[in-house]
């Protein structure tokens, strides 16, 4: 078994050599599940601080560290005692930090981009026919033209990486990433500014970092390899967002160092063996469990996927079976403490009660990442403004209501109160607007999201994001007016239609969705548990319930043959649905610290059992058959 002490010393030596400013060398550190990647990142920072900390403080240079979430940023800052020689931020925050003072360049980029977007919309308008889609485009063209016309009046631009960007001078999340990537790629001066201020750039979760920015960083590193150290920490098997760079590991130049952490400190021996098997057809990375790791437990439950089966009951019975197998009573009963992970968001949405809101938006490819992390334009407006306001009203918390209105409402903004003849009138107007919104819940009724949007738009209580402008303008179509004409349907804007459908659902679905993305839901997915670990994990696989074409457990586990598309993608070196499914399966199974129950709903139990025996992923007594609603056989 690998000597963890020796490996740690070797890794420290490699990183120290790479982080030598006299002769910097970029590197990609492979760090599989449970390997202590964050610990290695912090160790690199501490080594650098010990050697160069005083020099950097005197020269105002810094080490930039990019990680995926604000929570991860806070954890890293805490571990290095908030030392100011390190700038630790998310990718959006870092991108904004790079471009935020270049208002003239941003203005020129926006002007060029807006003209392209307007031309595209006008071309579609000329070719299209009158109707809903045409009306939507009219609103969009008007919005973009107004924004284009007022660019010259904007002295500075603003951006909030953690919320809705709705000011006249604000940039959205996509624009910030696109501008930073283009500036770094095309402007040598921006490259020089980056390496002078940040001679070292460390990127955590590099497999999920936005691909255009990763490519831009590669461009800078190639041009300034003797002055700039780019260090990537990650594992391609744990790539879970579509906008990350595919085949990142293969793109690493031969001149880079490629150290690896091959010890899994999280998983017990049996689970470490399983996840090694899962990834074995994808790459050559093998992990060893820690020397003191317990044996652990793995069971696969094959469930006949009949119509009308009670999955809640079945999963409760499986949890009780795990009590018998593991002698761990926290699998079931009053002491139950398990984490249930679904492998596809449709399943989590359906089980969590927000599928009607989630489904239309998830169909739009460019919406997916923002939808999954809650940053999609339009969502912070609901999650940070309308929902907290409604919850405060329901709790009769007047102080919280006043605080939210003061923070977000233009009706009581400093400028409004300053220019108004009567501040009291403005405050009364805001109070009436709040009452109008809350009246939607009178008599225990529940409004739709579009009802709440219309209410705040009509009263002017909150500033409506641009993404909703076409929707607000068309929700008052005459009763019974139809948009079913097939020619008109092909002319529609799918982005707007997706929001139209999502906003038609009951308001409570938004609250369930917000709980989900905040990891407060009992149902999690691979995205929601990035970097987390749990003693007892139940992974639920169900292709029928997931209804996704991007993933297929029946294909991964041998119940179905690869499609012609899969075969073509293999020949062309592209990612297949089987590849994506393998990653999801690896990520979820590797969360378990003690015991793992995998529940597979399928109509092909025999095929899967035969295929798994060939794969040798599970011992024979680890595969348990379930028929109907009853456990019928299996080992202990």
Q: What is the pLDDT of residue 388?
A: 95
Nearest CA to 532 out of 599, 588, 594 is that of: 588
Residue 8 has what pLDDT?
Answer: 67
User: How far are the Cα atoms of 120, 134, 135, 141, 491 from residue 124, in angstroms, in the given order?
Assistant: 6, 9, 12, 11, 9
Strands 263-264 and 630-631: unpaired
Find, among 578, 561, 560, the residue nearest to 569 by Cα: 578
Q: Is 264 within 8 Å of 21 (Cβ atoms)?
A: no
Between CA 76 and CA 38 the distance in angstroms is 8
The residues, any chain, with a CB within 8 Å of residue 395's CB and separated by 6 or more, are none
By C-alpha distance, which of 344, 233, 237 is closest to 281? Answer: 237
**Domain map (residue ranges) of the chain:** 4-99+178-261, 112-157, 272-343+526-626, 356-479+493-517
**Residue 230: φ, ψ to 5°:** -105, 120
Domains 4-99+178-261 and 272-343+526-626 share a fold: yes
Instruction: Give the architecture-level CATH label for domain 272-343+526-626.
Output: 3-Layer(aba) Sandwich (3.40)
Taking the CB of residue 380, how many other CB atoms lie within 10 A of it?
A: 20
Q: Which CATH number fits domain 4-99+178-261: 3.40.50.920, 3.20.20.80, 3.40.50.720, 3.40.50.300?
A: 3.40.50.300
User: What pLDDT sits at residue 407?
Assistant: 92
* Locus of tokens 């033209």: 145
pLDDT at residue number 7: 65
Determine contact, residues 461/454, Cβ cutoff 8 Å: no
100 contacts: CB under 8 Å, gap ≥ 6: 157, 159
Cα dist from 307 to 303, 600, 601, 628, 629, whole Å: 12, 15, 11, 10, 11
User: What is the Cα 414 distance to its own chain's centre?
Assistant: 36
**What are phi and psi for residue 546, nearest 5 degrees?**
-70, -40
Count CB-CB contacts under 10 A for residue 167. Answer: 13
Rounded to the nearest 10 degrees, how much is the dihedral formed by the CA atoms of 215, 220, 225, 230?
A: -60
Q: How far apart are CA 192 and CA 571, in angstroms?
A: 40
3 state DSSP class of 492? coil
Do residues 225 and 256 touch, judged by C-beta distance below 8 A? no
Helix, strand, coil fractions of the chain, as percent rounded to 5 = 55, 10, 30
Biggest CA pair distance of the chain:
81
CA distance 367 to 376: 7
Burial code (b: 16+ CB inside 10 Å, e: under 16) for 5-31 equals eebbeebeebbeebbeeeebbbbbbbb
pLDDT given for residue 520 in this prediction? 60
Q: How far apart are CA 15 and CA 25, in angstroms?
A: 9
- pLDDT, block means (10 residues), the chain with 636 residues: 63 93 95 91 95 94 91 91 95 95 96 95 84 84 92 93 81 94 96 97 91 96 96 90 82 93 95 96 91 96 88 92 96 87 78 90 86 89 95 94 92 79 84 94 92 94 90 59 47 85 95 84 50 88 71 86 84 84 92 96 92 93 78 43
- Quick one: pLDDT at residue 522? 54
Characterize the bridge pairing of strands 63-67 and 200-203. parallel
Reported pTM:
0.82
- What distance in Å separates the CA atoms of residue 408 and residue 345, rounded to the nearest whole number? 31
Q: Are the C-beta atoms of residues 41 and 65 closer than 8 Å to each other? A: yes
Q: The tokens of 148 are what?
A: 């284009």
CB-count burial class (<10 Å; 0-12, 13-18, 19+) for 203? buried
476: CB partners within 8 A, 6+ apart: none
């Amino acid at each position: 078994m690998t000597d963890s002490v020796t490996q740690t010393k070797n890794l420290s030596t490699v990183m120290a050599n790479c982080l030598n400013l006299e002769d910097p060398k970029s590197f990609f550190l492979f760090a599989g599940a449970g390997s202590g990647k964050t610990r290695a990142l912090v160790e690199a920072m501490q080594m650098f601080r010990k050697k160069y900390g005083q020099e950097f403080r005197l020269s105002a240079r810094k080490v930039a560290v990019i990680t995926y979430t604000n929570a991860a940023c806070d954890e890293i800052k805490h571990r290095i005692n908030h030392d100011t020689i390190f700038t630790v931020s998310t990718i959006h925050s870092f991108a904004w930090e790079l471009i935020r003072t270049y208002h003239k360049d941003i203005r020129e980029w926006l002007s060029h981009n807006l003209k392209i977007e307007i031309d595209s919309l006008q071309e579609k308008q000329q070719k299209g026919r009158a109707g809903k889609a045409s009306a939507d485009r009219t609103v969009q063209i008007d919005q973009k033209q107004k924004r284009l016309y007022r660019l010259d009046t904007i002295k500075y631009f603003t951006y909030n990486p953690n919320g809705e960007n709705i000011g006249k001078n604000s940039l959205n999340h996509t624009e910030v990433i696109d501008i930073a990537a283009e500036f770094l790629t095309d402007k040598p001066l921006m490259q020089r500014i980056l390496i002078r201020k940040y001679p070292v750039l460390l990127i955590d979760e590099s497999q999920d970092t936005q691909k255009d920015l990763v490519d831009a960083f590669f461009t800078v590193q190639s041009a300034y390899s003797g002055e700039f150290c780019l260090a990537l920490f990650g594992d391609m098997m744990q790539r879970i967002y579509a906008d990350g760079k595919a085949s990142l590991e293969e793109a690493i130049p031969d001149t880079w160092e490629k150290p690896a952490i091959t010890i899994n400190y999280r998983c017990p021996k049996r689970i470490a063996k399983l996840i090694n098997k899962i990834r074995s057809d994808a790459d050559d990375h093998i992990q060893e469990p820690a020397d003191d790791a317990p044996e652990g437990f793995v069971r696969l439950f094959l469930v006949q996927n009949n119509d009308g089966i009670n999955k809640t009951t079945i999963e409760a019975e499986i949890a009780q079976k795990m009590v018998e197998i593991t002698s761990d009573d926290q699998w079931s009963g009053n002491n139950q403490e398990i984490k249930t992970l679904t492998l596809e968001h449709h399943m989590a949405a359906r089980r969590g009660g927000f599928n009607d809101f989630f489904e239309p938006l998830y169909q739009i490819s460019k919406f997916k990442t923002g939808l999954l992390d809650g940053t999609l334009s339009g969502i912070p407006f609901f999650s940070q403004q309308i929902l907290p306001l409604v919850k405060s009203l329901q709790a009769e918390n007047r102080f919280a209501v006043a605080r939210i209105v003061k923070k977000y409402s233009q009706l009581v903004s400093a400028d409004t109160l300053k220019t108004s003849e009567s501040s009291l009138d403005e405050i009364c107007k805001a109070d009436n607007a709040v009452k109008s919104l809350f009246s939607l819940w009178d008599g225990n009724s529940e409004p739709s999201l579009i009802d709440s949007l219309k209410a705040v738009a009509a009263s002017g209580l909150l500033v409506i994001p641009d993404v909703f402008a076409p929707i607000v303008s068309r929700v008052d179509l005459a009763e019974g007016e139809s948009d079913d004409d097939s020619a008109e349907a092909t002319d529609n804007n799918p982005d707007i239609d997706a929001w139209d459908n999502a906003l038609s659902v009951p308001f409570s679905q938004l609250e369930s969705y917000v709980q989900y993305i905040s990891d407060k839901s009992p149902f999690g997915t691979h995205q929601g548990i990035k970097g987390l670990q749990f003693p007892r994990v139940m992974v639920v696989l169900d292709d029928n319930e997931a209804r996704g074409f991007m993933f297929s457990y029946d294909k991964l586990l041998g119940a179905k043959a690869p499609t012609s598309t899969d075969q073509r993608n293999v020949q062309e070196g592209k990612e297949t649905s089987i590849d994506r499914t393998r990653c999801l399966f690896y990520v979820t199974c590797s969360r378990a610290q003690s015991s793992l129950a995998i529940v597979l709903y399928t109509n092909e139990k025999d095929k899967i059992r035969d295929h798994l025996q060939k794969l040798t992923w599970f011992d024979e007594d680890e595969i348990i058959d379930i028929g109907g609603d009853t456990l019928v056989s299996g080992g202990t």
